[in-house]
Amino acid sequence: MKKLKGLLLTEGMHGMISQVEGLAKALDLDFTHHKVELNNFWKFIPPKLTPISNKVYKHFDATNYDIIISCGRKSVVPSIYLKKNSQKKIINIHIQDPKVNLKHFDIIVTPEHDGVTGDNVISSKGAIHYLTEQEISSSKDYLVGRLDNKKNYLGLIIGGPNKYYNYSNQIIERVLLKVKKISELNKLQVIAIPSIRTPKNIITMTSEILGENHIAINEVDKRAYLSTLAISKYLVAVSYTHLRAHETREDRVLRGVVGKKKRGGGGGGGGGG
């Protein structure tokens, strides 16, 4: 049977890509992904005040699709426009609260904590993602040459500042020292994984504080991340990364926000990586 074709629309942020691709893979779509860029001052205007027009966003080639999956504020108008102006019946699905009339979409997928309700709304326990048990398992041995096989492992997933949260070197230093102390008291080996948001100075500090008996990955490495998810007995996620705890079993995760909330900030949107 021929696969349905999917058109994925996001702002290009890893967290959004993870969600739209996760849903597309679950639906077994043959999909293409397009980064949405808004024109001029429309990038500063909320979707509910933006006209449904292709003049709002920069043109991209998109033809022959059956399902549109969008995520993020900037993708709301393009998804609605493309559905309305298609010559065939299109199903459009938006992930996160679109902040417009929900009837513009066939399906809305939002986390329960957003409190969005409606006949076409599906609530999820957390954010959708593209990781599968098979993908995680396939990277299990990626770090084997660096591991102490006499110990259990504690995965430390380090995030970074975003528009809602910030943290200082002193806060991260305190967290690292505490994690190191706990791991040594319990004979654990720490595997520290940075994200795309983690500042380079924090990556360097992590390596220096943990020392040679632990592992500090010094760059964004997806396979190292997957391997850590697969082998860690415990996971500690700091800063914004606590929103990604849905990517592993809840009984292994200690969530903690170590950042100080910035003034005027709202809740996280699951859009970072």
Q: d(Cα 56, Cα 47) in Å, to the nearest integer?
A: 10
pLDDT in tens, 222-270: 899 999 999 999 999 875 444 344 444 444 444 444 444 454 444 444 4
pTM for the complete prediction? Answer: 0.69
| Average pLDDT in the chain | 86
pLDDT in tens, 97-118: 999 999 999 999 998 888 899 9
Q: Look at strands 165-166 and 260-261 and give their pairing.
A: antiparallel
Q: Give residue 127's pLDDT.
A: 81
pLDDT in tens, 16-45: 998 999 999 999 999 999 999 999 899 899
The residue written with tokens 């850590």 in the block is 228
pLDDT band of 163, cuts 50, 70, 90: low
Tokens of 26: 């679950």
Q: Give residue 164's pLDDT.
A: 63
Q: Look at strands 107-111 and 188-194 and give their pairing.
A: unpaired
Q: Is the pLDDT of residue 84 over 70?
A: yes
Name the residue with higher pLDDT: 85 or 254: 85
Report in angstroms the alpha-carbon separations of 93 from 35, 74, 105, 197: 16, 14, 6, 28
Which string of DSSP letters, residue by residue, matches the chain? -PPPEEEEEE-S-HHHHHHHHHHHHHTT-EEEEEE--B-GGGGGS-GGGS-S-TTSB------S-SEEEEESGGGHHHHHHHHHT-SS--EEEEES--SS-GGGSSEEEEEGGG----TTEEEESS------HHHHHHTTTTTGGG--TTSEEEEEEE----SSEE--HHHHHHHHHHHHHHHHHTTEEEEEEE-TTS-HHHHHHHHHHH-TTSEE--S--HHHHHHHHHH-SEEEEEGGGGGGGGGS-GGGEEEE--SEEPTT-----S---
Q: Is the pLDDT of residue 273 over 60?
A: no
Percent of the chain exceeding pLDDT 70 equals: 86
Question: Per-residue pLDDT averaged across 185-200, rounded?
Answer: 92
